Amino acid sequence: MTLGVALIVIIVLFFLVKSEGFRKAASILLGVCVLGGFVIYAYFENEKAERARKLARAKTLVTMDEIALLDPQMRFSTYDGRPEKITGRLRNNSKYTVESVELHLLFQDCPTNAACETIGTSEEDVSVDVPPGQSRDFDSYVSGNRMSPRGKLNWNYSIKSITAHLP
């Protein structure tokens, strides 16, 4: 295979040196390939920008006061204290179907005789399809660091963004 490729390269180089017509054809072919590559690159960049615009729009359709997270619970690893899974129910009071909710999770160590200290944070995207006016249970795996609280481990969440299905 390598010998065949080397032979083709040698033949092409020979014709580039010896033939004026072959040089013109090769330069035209090279120009067409460069132009084609540019067009393909521009197409994919446009598609990427369009996806980003759609995602940005989808994040503006549902407001924070139109959804509710009911009974969220966190499960921690018995091995090393890492957060493993968040479960709960999402209620959608908007007119759009919710596709996902991005949560900011805060983990704190609260000793009995001192102020709470933050020992971990995590950003989690919870995928859950909830039609307008309905609720759905969810469970999502969570990634986080190993935690060894000296007191009581408290956790809290805040909703960073809500992504809706585009109509």
pLDDT tens, 102-159?
999 999 998 888 788 988 899 999 999 999 999 999 999 988 788 888 888 889 999 9
Using alpha carbons, select from 85, 81, 62, 59 the residue that is nearest to residue 72: 85
Q: What is the pLDDT of residue 89?
A: 96
Model confidence pLDDT, tens digit, residues 145-156: 888 888 888 899
Instruction: Characterize the bridge pairing of strands 117-130 and 98-110.
Output: antiparallel
Question: Tens digit of pLDDT for each residue in 12-23?
Answer: 788 778 888 888
For residue 26, the tally of other CB atoms under 10 A from its CB is 14
Residue 113 tokens, joined: 């005789």
DSSP 80-128: T--EEEEEEEEEE-SSS-EEEEEEEEEEEEE-TTS--EEEEEEEEEEEE
Q: CA dist 81 to 76, 95, 112, 152, Å?
A: 6, 39, 19, 12
Q: 34-72, pLDDT tens digit by residue?
A: 999 999 999 999 999 999 999 888 888 999 999 999 999
- When pLDDT is averaged across residues 74-83 and rounded to a whole number, the result is 86
Round the average pLDDT of the chain to a whole number and report it: 89
